[in-house]
Amino acid sequence: MLKRSFLAAAALMSAVADANSARVPVLLELFTSEGCSSCPPADRLLEVLDQKQPIAGADLIVLSEHVDYWNHLGWRDPFSSAQYSARQKQYNGSNSDGVYTPQLVVDGRFRFVGSDEREAVSTVQKAIREPKIPITISNVAHDGQEVRARIELPAPDQSFRNKRAELYLAIADNRAESHVARGENAGHALAHVAVARVLKQVATIPLDSATAKDIAVTLQPGTGAGGSRIVAFIQDPTSGHVLGVAARRL
């Protein structure tokens, strides 16, 4: 009850905020697995954050990245990939104890247990105070198994000059469901939001001038059966900090 009340309070704060005020985009990456009994509460929290947008001043852009290191324990997560396991390990570096599920990573800067509502609200409030580079996604076309888009960034302010960043593009299913037959969640129907099906570094870009890139990515079969979204973000290759992020529905 306490956690639900805390999130409800955050939603109330968001509701009474100025409707015309700009929201700062924040990237939330949830590392999760259908083989982990602790993960469904984090999956539900991510859904609330995605759909309700309860934190004042924040535009929450979420990705559910399913790791594969639970797959040998009775249930193979159909959305899992070794790529997302490797990405999580990159975030945690040499700290072998830091890799666990569910784990939420906010803007590539902050890491904590993915079902912790209080920490999620507190961390996002920190993240919106960080400088961000705005990203525009336009000319989006979805043709069969290919998605094309134009990604544009303005010339950044002085705090980003003389730096380079990695530009990533993700395609995620808006919603996905599974009926788990084995493992820790055996017998349960699980639902997920913003399930990453493609996550690709598409360019390395300088941050001392405006940038425009035309991008094309190939989708996996079955991607987007219930609708999907495109997420573009730029990330500091050294620190892993997300310097800007944007999303659009396909």
> Which amino acid, residue 194?
A
Per-residue pLDDT at 79 exceeds 50: yes
Mean predicted confidence (pLDDT) in 127-153: 94
Q: Strands, E, within the chain: which ranges?
A: 24-32, 58-66, 103-106, 110-113, 136-143, 146-153, 164-179, 189-206, 211-218, 228-235, 242-249
With residue 44 as reference, give the H or E element that holds it: helix 39-52
Mean of the per-residue pLDDT values of the chain:
90
Per-residue pLDDT at 1 exceeds 90: no
Q: How many CB atoms lie within 10 A of CB 194?
A: 26
| Residue 240 falls in which region: left (phi positive, over 0), alpha (psi -120 to 50) or beta | left
| Nearest residue to 151 (alpha-carbon basis) of 230, 47, 69 | 230
Looking at residue 10, what is its pLDDT? Answer: 55
Looking at residue 133, what is its pLDDT? Answer: 94
5, exposed or middle or buried, with CB in 10 Å at 0-12, 13-18, 19+? exposed
Per-residue pLDDT at 147 exceeds 70: yes
Looking at residue 245, what is its pLDDT? Answer: 98
Q: What is the pLDDT of residues 177-221, one digit of tens each?
A: 999 999 999 999 999 999 999 999 999 999 888 999 999 999 887
pTM of the model: 0.92
Mean predicted confidence (pLDDT) in 237-247: 96
Domains of the chain: 2-249 (2.60.40.10)
Looking at residue 160, what is its pLDDT? Answer: 79
